Amino acid sequence: MKTLVIAPTKSDLYDIIKKDVEKRHLDQVDWFYYDLSENDVDVNDLIHQCITISMFELPRVITIIFTSNHRLAHEIAQAIHYLEPSIACYVGVEGKRFSTQDPIIQAIKQENRQLERQALTLKTKSELIHSLATHYKLKLTPAQMEYLTQVLSFDRNQIESELYKCSLYPHTLSMEVLKKLIKPQISDSVFELSKAIMKKDLNQSFTLYHDLTLLKVDPLAIIPILGWQLRLMMQIFELKERGMNHHAMNQILNENPYAFDKAVEYTRFTTSTNVKQLMIMLSHLDANIKQGKQDKKIGFERFLLESVR
């Protein structure tokens, strides 16, 4: 059985595949995972597992995390083509960007079996939190629901893990306790930092940065997230210049709807020239820190001061 699986994250891919295997009542199976983006993936073993079978083995489930233009794509595709019928093979595609002409995609689509999971939006994330809270018998106030919607990431497994953790708390779950149990995710906090920078709000920028340092977040962990947000904003500016609307831009960029909407919102507070300048400043800061030319804490604070001028 061959199945193509499309989802926004790897954790979503694994979750879909696991549930599909359980649905087929395969209680005991041999799992084999191959991530083609990793340099040390054993492609020869992958091919061997696809084309060999023993009547004494447990049912075999092969999960292949796809990456386009793999150097052994044709060999992998041939192995999938000749897959033993008793083996379940899943090819997982993270996101939606892939060529239907890729040999691996063509091979896995032979049976036209496809599973897909859409990325969470702010609305569907809130609905998921409410559903899981009900499942775990958590009584949440509207204020607590709003807090969780704001601070939790868009990773379904992470959301469920955090709510399960809350369900184990033996006493009344006050807002104070909830905030101690679940801290804001770094990327969401950096989103707010981006907004303050775009609005040239120095006080808010330093307040948010201070909050991140209290969570023991290293400035080197903030830089790539902030850089990703700036690049997304730059792309939006470029697509706007081509006259594209909101929907067309997101189809091309294929970003999480929440991240995309935030980036669109922040472009209203700034210009493409300013964003480009910030990207250059951030790139220089990253290089100087990694080369030992700049203290990371002092360097990032200096970046914040320069960014709001």
pTM above 0.85, yes or no: no
Backbone angles phi, psi at 87, to 5 degrees: -95, 135
Q: Please give the mean pLDDT across all residues of the chain.
A: 85
Q: Give the per-residue pLDDT at 56.
A: 65
* DSSP labels, 268-282: TTS-HHHHHHHHHHH
CATH T-level fold of 2-116: Rossmann fold (3.40.50)
Of 86-95, 128-137, 215-224, give the range with the top mean pLDDT.
128-137
Output the CATH code of domain 186-307: 1.20.272.10
Q: What percent of the chain has pLDDT over 70?
A: 94
The whole-number average pLDDT for the span 139-162 is 84
Say yes or no to pLDDT of 74 above 70.
yes
Q: Give the per-residue pLDDT at 265.
A: 85
Say yes or no to pLDDT of 131 above 90.
yes
Say yes or no to pLDDT of 95 above 80.
no
Backbone angles phi, psi at 90, to 5 degrees: -120, 130
With tokens 């707010």, the residue in question is 192
Domain parsing of the chain, residue ranges: 2-116, 122-181, 186-307
128: which 2 tokens? 């998921």
Q: Give the per-residue pLDDT at 185.
A: 67
Question: Residue 4: left if φ>0, alpha if ψ -120 to 50, beta else—which one?
Answer: beta
Classify residue 109 by its DSSP letter. G
